[in-house]
Chain A
Amino acid sequence: MRKYKVRHKVVVVIFLLISVIFIIKLFYIQVINDNYKFSANNNVLRYDVQQAVRGLIYDRNNNLIVANVPAYDLMIIPRELKGKTMDTLSFCHLTNISKKEFFIKYNKAAKYSNYKESIFIKHISLENSSTLSEKLFQFPGFYLRKLTMRDYPSNVATHLIGYLGEVNIKKTREDKYYTKGDLSGASGIEAAYEQDLRGEKGMVIKLVDVHNRHQGKFQNGDFDTLAIAGTTLISTIDIELQAYGEKLMQNKIGAIVAIEPSSGEILSLISAPTYNPNLLIGRKRSENYNILLHDENKPLFNRALQGTYPPGSTFKLLNGLIALQEGVILKNTHFKCNDGYDYGDEKKVGCHPHNSPVNLIAGIEISCNAYFCNTFNNYFRSFNSSILAYDNWHAHLSSFGIGDFMNNDFINGSPGKLPKSSYYNTLYRGSWNANTIISMAIGQGELLLTPIQMANMTAILANRGYYYTPHIIKEIGREKIDSSFALKKYCSIEAKYFEPIINGMEKVIENEKGTATNAKLNNIIICGKTGTAQNPHGEDHSIFIAFAPKENPKIAIAVYVENGGWGSTWAAPIASLMIENYLQKEITNKTQEAFILNGNLIKKE
């Protein structure tokens, strides 16, 4: 067949042609295209995230207030159950779930993946897990995965500490640190100091085969990282004072904020009603959260930071200071009180019966409305226009942190309400004066403060003119906190004008005619001021602000009790008990303490 010899070449060409096509294709998938390398890693590498243990939180006296306890998730790998008989009944008994629940959970896991593990039962506590782990060998496909849960040894300061919540999808997109199902701080310190507390996740890269079975470490673990535990925080809080305050506020609605004036450190921050922080961890978390969310007394609402209230008569102190600073009154200036303050046609701000006329100190001591209405009016009249007067007044108040978030280290809060002059200009069409807004003279009207602002105002009084931004954390690990918290911030009132006001505050408690003599302590001089804020929705709010001792004060406190009536009825004794507890560690007036503890202002049948 010589004549077909040329066909030898055709066959050779066919062989070579196809080989070249193969080599080109191989070059493409092996050298040019990277997708296959990526897919290969996806196939074989399992990134096992090692969750970091969250940072601990101590109070100012080194009491552990937020701890971690080990807990377990019961995991399931559905494939390993296949073809095996299992005593479902005793398993359900052991894990305390119904047979129906079992199959719902099992199907859910199997639907997700037969080879990958998924959580069967979340957050099993240590004590429940011990019996489980003993018997779990009977049930192939199930195992326990260790994790840590928050634990609150003292069961108080819930609002302050905050709680953890599962991150939402938005957060996982914004911050690559998080993946679905991770917990992060949702409120309080947990949220504000999330970056410090969360630590750093570790990563173990495992090799797995097609059945997701572990085949060893990737590159001998050279790329593995260890989880780094979160930073320990030292809070400014005094957990005993906090616990005592929460006890005093039980069955009441309101807030207490106590600050150390010399540092701005928050000693306690109480919002009532509160709830047990342990409700919001573990398996019943969302169930409990729903109950709390729908409670009519709004226990989830942090009144100390977010509640906005009229300051009532406590605000007279600031108006007095401004008037002194502006030279409108002197400490000897007297005003008459005709059972109140008359202005315009039969308009009157009422006052309770007392001697008249009174000077500034007595005006504070007995909380004379007429005195401060006159002062407010005189102050306005010393300016050419109401706008100028109001703007100046607004500037003074702003220097006290009123109407401002105050840049504290909480993530939530409220700036309260301090309207601008333009607000009134619009409201009264340009025609207004002191008497138009006379209720501001006695801390009513549009003005609203949060309890922490009231406490800060008290701290300024205690310091005679300056404050440190209130804050809740003293130390982050070994590091000091932000330097802005160590910055002395002066208000616009000179120190010398504080003396008469403080003397008046002393008399509120010490003098027999004072409005809060029931707050008197035997060996500590408390300077305070009552407030009774009118409440259109019901009983007046009971308010008291105080600091003690008079010289070199250690604590400044604001107490707000909703629907508590007179300031002296609830707020003043509560403040007094708090001060005594903090300074003396012992309560002398047990009757008063019992009265407060038993007092129930929440109407419940």
Chain B
Amino acid sequence: MRDAKNIFANIDKVSILLYAILMLFGWVNIYASQYNEDVTMMLDFSTRYGKQLLFIGIASFVAFLILIIDWKFFYSLSYFFYIVIILLLIGVLLKGGVTGGATSWFELGGFKFQPSEFAKFTTALALAKYYNALHIKRISLQDKLKTYVIIILPFLLIILQNDLGTALVYAAFVLVLYREGLSGNILIFGIIIAILFLLTLVIEKTILVYILSFSALIIYLLSRRKKKELLLILVILISCTGFIFSVNYIFNDVLALHHRKRINILLGKEFDPHGAGYNLIQSKIAIGSGGFSGKGFLNGTQTRFDFVPEQSTDFIFCTIGEEWGFVGSFFFMILFVGLLLRVLFLAERQRSNFSRIYGYSVATILFMHLAINIGMTIGLLPVIGIPLPFISYGGSSLVGFTILLFIFLNLDSYRLQILR
């Protein structure tokens, strides 16, 4: 039972501690990336680090509010929040401001408000609530489709905003669904599709088909129940071949030019150190130049002198890598993954499906952000603009992630009361 006298008694302090450390570490790095010897005032709200301090204050206040609210508030208003955010997402398409090609924010008294940052937790809440209400034993196709619609609706609206990065995060829900019983083949299927997509861009199509056919032949020869598997292998082979030949269409006609370029640069097919490849090269230079122990706080030349673009938002990890080195990057990863694993652990101990599904959503959404953001800065993924949770500069994202996390911590503190 939640201790009524001390509302913080049941709250997971490990998560809060990790959250606080990450947020402060983020601020330190924003300060470093914006550091200018001429300006000595720390509390200058015209600077990004000044503003971020304000955002941290707001986020902490929001976190506190969430913790003292009864969990039923979130449970009962899940759909309401979801619908409000969907409306805002539509609104932003009609009347929003544009940054970097993405139409994603409203101007609110000098601050930019980005509904897509809040869509993540509302989607998670709505999904959790819908799933919670279902009869576990008999989930109809209709129910499944409704589940998908809950996820895909905000996803499509964000795609329409031209914010591919944030939209990609919705892939996180595949993991959540997997935990809840979605066939594991979906994951394998997804991975195969991704690998095939990349291979097709690198290797000649016909050669790839030969390789696939050859592998299929080997598998067929090695299998025991030949007749039964022949059909399956043939079907897979034919669909793979079909996919390979449609990759060109997807790549050239579905993806935008700058996405194509970024993928080509990542694959080494295009070299453009001053154009689209600039971010990637400079970001790797900044991180790589940090060496084992880093250049030290405020000594990162690459980030301080603006060689790295978007250094306080999407590329904030460059400052970490440059000034804190491998040691700092390593401990950052440990902290962040530590928080994720903690959330997963907490989610798993929930009694209600609602809390568990929401917890999984929190962990996987944060994980997607981490993977896409770090993967981009160290050159493992194409450049996709997406913030690093709790670290990157930005009020919407910090408050958005705080709400995301703390609703779960709230649910967790009531875990003994929430049954089913």
A residues with a Cβ closer than 8 A to B are 1, 4-5, 7-8, 10-12, 14-16, 18-19, 21-23, 25-27, 29-31, 33, 35-37, 39-41, 43-44, 207-211, 215-216
Knowing A8-B348, A11-B344 are in contact, say whether A209-B380 is a contact too (CB < 8 A).
no
Which residues of B lie under 8 Å from residue A5 when comparing CB positions?
A: 348
- Between A and B, 23 residue pairs with Cβ closer than 8 Å are A1-B136, A4-B180, A8-B179, A10-B178, A10-B184, A11-B179, A12-B344, A15-B340, A22-B333, A26-B321, A26-B326, A26-B333, A27-B326, A30-B292, A30-B326, A33-B288, A36-B287, A37-B289, A40-B286, A40-B301, A43-B301, A208-B305, A215-B305
Q: Say yes or no: A43 contacts B307, CB within 8 Å.
A: yes
Which residues of B lie under 8 Å from residue A33 when comparing CB positions?
A: 288
Interface centre among A1, A22, A41 (most CB of B within 10 A): A22
A29 to B363, CA, bound (A): 28
- Which of A4, A35, A36, A207 is close to B305, meaning CB atoms less than 8 Å apart? A207
- Which of A10, A16, A30, A44 is close to B288, meaning CB atoms less than 8 Å apart? A30
Q: Does B364 contact A (CB under 8 A)?
A: yes
Q: Say yes or no: A25 contacts B378, CB within 8 Å.
A: yes
Q: Say yes or no: A30 contacts B364, CB within 8 Å.
A: no
Which residues of A lie under 8 Å from residue B363 when comparing CB positions?
A: 11, 15
A39 to B374, CA, bound (A): 21
- Which of A12, A27, A36 is close to B284, meaning CB atoms less than 8 Å apart? A36
Q: Say yes or no: B290 contacts A30, CB within 8 Å.
A: yes
Return B278 CB to nearest CB of chain A, in Å. 10
Q: Say yes or no: B337 contacts A40, CB within 8 Å.
A: no
Return B42 CB to nearest CB of chain A, in Å. 21
- Which of A1, A15, A21, A26 is close to B367, meaning CB atoms less than 8 Å apart? A15
Q: Does B23 contact A (CB under 8 A)?
A: no
Which residues of B lie under 8 Å from residue A31 when comparing CB positions?
A: 291-292, 326
Interface string of B40-66 (1 = CB under 8 A from A): 000000000000000000000000000
Q: Using CB atoms, name the residue of chain A closest to B360.
A: A11
Q: Does B24 contact A (CB under 8 A)?
A: no
Which residues of B lie under 8 Å from residue A216 when comparing CB positions?
A: 37
Return A5 CB to nearest CB of chain B, in Å. 7
A583 to B341, CA, bound (A): 101
Return B212 CB to nearest CB of chain A, in Å. 25
Which residues of A lie under 8 Å from residue B290 when comparing CB positions?
A: 30
Q: Say yes or no: A15 contacts B337, CB within 8 Å.
A: yes
Return B97 CB to nearest CB of chain A, in Å. 25
A36 to B302, CA, bound (A): 11
Q: Using CB atoms, name the residue of chain A closest to B374.
A: A22
| List of 6 A-B pairs having minimum Cβ-Cβ separation, nearest first | A36-B288, A40-B289, A209-B305, A29-B288, A30-B326, A44-B301
A10 to B363, CA, bound (A): 14
Return A121 CB to nearest CB of chain B, in Å. 29
Knowing A8-B344, A26-B321 are in contact, say whether A40-B353 is a contact too (CB < 8 A).
no
Which residues of A lie under 8 Å from residue B87 when comparing CB positions?
A: none
A10 to B181, CA, bound (A): 13
Q: Using CB atoms, name the residue of chain A closest to B294.
A: A30
Which residues of B lie under 8 Å from residue A215 when comparing CB positions?
A: 305
Q: Say yes or no: A26 contacts B329, CB within 8 Å.
A: yes
Q: Say yes or no: B287 contacts A29, CB within 8 Å.
A: yes
What's the dominant secondary structure at chain B's contact region? helix
Q: Say yes or no: B302 contacts A40, CB within 8 Å.
A: yes
- Which of A11, A35, A37 is close to B364, meaning CB atoms less than 8 Å apart? A11
Q: Say yes or no: A210 contacts B305, CB within 8 Å.
A: yes
A37 to B348, CA, bound (A): 44
Q: Using CB atoms, name the residue of chain B closest to A8.
A: B348
Q: Using CB atoms, name the residue of chain A closest to B295.
A: A40
A16 to B344, CA, bound (A): 12
Which residues of A lie under 8 Å from residue B326 when comparing CB positions?
A: 26-27, 30-31
Knowing A44-B307, A209-B305 are in contact, say whether A26-B179 is a contact too (CB < 8 A).
no
Return B175 CB to nearest CB of chain A, in Å. 6
A27 to B333, CA, bound (A): 12
Q: Say yes or no: B289 contacts A19, CB within 8 Å.
A: no
Q: Say yes or no: B181 contacts A1, CB within 8 Å.
A: yes
A22 to B367, CA, bound (A): 13
- Which of A12, A23, A29, A40 is close to B341, meaning CB atoms less than 8 Å apart? A12
Which residues of B lie under 8 Å from residue A37 when comparing CB positions?
A: 288-289, 291
Q: Does B330 contact A (CB under 8 A)?
A: yes
Which residues of B lie under 8 Å from residue A18 when comparing CB positions?
A: 367, 371
Return B129 CB to nearest CB of chain A, in Å. 16
A217 to B3, CA, bound (A): 60
Q: Say yes or no: A39 contacts B181, CB within 8 Å.
A: no
Which residues of B lie under 8 Å from residue A41 when comparing CB positions?
A: 289
Knowing A4-B180, A8-B344, A44-B301 are in contact, say whether A14-B287 is a contact too (CB < 8 A).
no
Known: A1-B181, A26-B287, A44-B307. 5 other contacts (CB 8 A): A19-B333, A29-B288, A37-B288, A40-B301, A43-B307
Return B58 CB to nearest CB of chain A, in Å. 29
A515 to B301, CA, bound (A): 83
Return B138 CB to nearest CB of chain A, in Å. 14
Q: Does B325 contact A (CB under 8 A)?
A: yes
Which residues of B lie under 8 Å from residue A8 when comparing CB positions?
A: 179, 344, 348
Return A119 CB to nearest CB of chain B, in Å. 24
A26 to B322, CA, bound (A): 11
Return B330 CB to nearest CB of chain A, in Å. 6
Return A26 CB to nearest CB of chain B, in Å. 5
Which residues of A lie under 8 Å from residue B284 when comparing CB positions?
A: 29, 36
Q: Say yes or no: B288 contacts A40, CB within 8 Å.
A: yes
Q: Say yes or no: A1 contacts B353, CB within 8 Å.
A: yes
Q: Using CB atoms, name the residue of chain B closest to A211.
A: B306
Knowing A8-B344, A22-B380 are in contact, say whether A14-B333 is a contact too (CB < 8 A).
no
Return A301 CB to nearest CB of chain B, in Å. 50
Interface string of B344-388 (1 = CB under 8 A from A): 100010000100100010011001000100110011100000000
Return B418 CB to nearest CB of chain A, in Å. 15
Knowing A22-B378, A40-B301, A44-B301 are in contact, say whether A16-B291 is a contact too (CB < 8 A).
no
Which residues of B lie under 8 Å from residue A21 when comparing CB positions?
A: 380
Which residues of A lie under 8 Å from residue B371 when comparing CB positions?
A: 18, 22
Q: Say yes or no: B341 contacts A4, CB within 8 Å.
A: no
- Which of B175, B289, B306, B375 is close to A39, meaning CB atoms less than 8 Å apart? B289
A7 to B290, CA, bound (A): 38
Which residues of A lie under 8 Å from residue B374 when comparing CB positions?
A: 22
Q: Say yes or no: A209 contacts B306, CB within 8 Å.
A: yes
Q: Does B285 contact A (CB under 8 A)?
A: yes
Q: Say yes or no: A39 contacts B344, CB within 8 Å.
A: no
